[in-house]
Amino acid sequence: MHSENIAVYVGLDVHKETLAVAIAAPERLGEVRYYGTINNEAQAVRRLFQKLQ
């Protein structure tokens, strides 16, 4: 299986308890979309990036 690297741009608005997440992917022609809010914890950020892989 061939794996292709694709750049995805992730914006984080950092707050004390939460992170607001926005994503811009090339296949959406640079359109930025709101992904949602996650807890401001290392494990939540790891899960987010695992989903984006």
What are the residue ranges spanned by the domains of the chain? 9-52
The pLDDT value recorded for residue 1 is 54
On whether the pTM is more than 0.75, the answer is yes
**pLDDT above 80 (res 50):** yes
When mean pLDDT is compared over 24-28, 29-33, 35-39, the highest value belongs to: 35-39
The pLDDT value recorded for residue 3 is 66
Under 8 Å between Cβ of 2 and 19 = no
Listed in sequence order, the residues at least 6 apart from 9 whose beta carbon sits closer than 8 Å to its beta carbon are 23, 24, 25
